Amino acid sequence: MQHTFKEAKRYYSSTPFDQRWDDILSSLAVLGRMSRGNRVVPFHDSAMAFESMWAAVKGAKERVHWQTYICKDDFIGQGTVRRLVQAHQRGCDTELLYDCGGNISGRARLTGELKLCGAKVIPYRPFFRSVATYFIKGLDWRRSPGLRNHRKILLVDTCQGFCGGLNVGNEYCGKAAGGTGKFRDTHCGVVGPAAAHLAEVYRDTKQPHPWKYGWRRWRQIASQQITRRVKQGRMRMERNGLYRAFQEERGRSGRRLQNVSSASMKVMRRRWHKQKNQLLTLMQWSRARLSSNVLLGHEALRHTQEQSDVRLDGKEANVKVGTVVNGADSHKSNVKAACQAPGLFAVKDANDGETASASLFSCELSTSSAGPREAARAWPSSPLQSSDGKLNAPLSSAMRRKLLAARREALYRATDLPHKRTYTDMLRQVPILDTEPVPEAEMYLQHREPITQVLSCNPRYRDYSIQYAFWQVTRKCHRRIWITTPYYLPTRKLFSALIQAARRGVDVRLLAGSNQTTDPWFMWHASNYITEKLLRAGVKIYEFKGQQIMHAKTVVVDSVWSSIGSYNWDLMSNRNLEVCLCHLDLEVAHSMETQFLRDLTQSVEVRLEDHKQRSRWLRFTSWLFYNFVFLLDRITFRSFANEDVVDVPGAP
The catalytic site residues sit at 150, 152, 157, 551, 553, 558
Q: 604 has which bridge partners? A: 543
Instruction: Please provide the DSSP assignment of 369-423 as one string.
Output: ---HHHHHHHSPPPTTB-TTSPBPPPPPHHHHHHHHHHHHHHHHHHHHHHHHHHH
| Cβ atoms < 10 Å from Cβ of 153 | 24
* Max CA pair span of the chain: 111
Q: State whether residue 441 is helix, strand or coil.
A: helix
HSE value, Cβ hemisphere, 13 Å, CA-based, for 184: 24
Alpha helices (runs of H) in 59-193, residue ranges in sequence order: 75-89, 108-116, 127-136
Distance CA 435, CA 597 (A): 8
Element of type H or E holding 590:
helix 586-600
Tell me, letter by letter, the H, E, C secondary structure of 197-249.
HHHHHHHHHHCCCCCCCHHHHHHHHHHHHHHHHHHHHHHHHHHHHHHHHHHHH
Distance CA 559, CA 583 (A): 11
Q: 99 has which bridge partners? A: 124
DSSP code for 569? B
Spell out the residues 6+ positions from residue 435 whose beta carbon is closer than 8 angstroms to its own: 594, 597
> In this structure, are residues 161 and 189 in contact, taking their beta carbons and an 8 Å threshold?
yes
Q: State whether residue 119 is helix, strand or coil.
A: coil
Element of type H or E holding 564:
strand 561-565
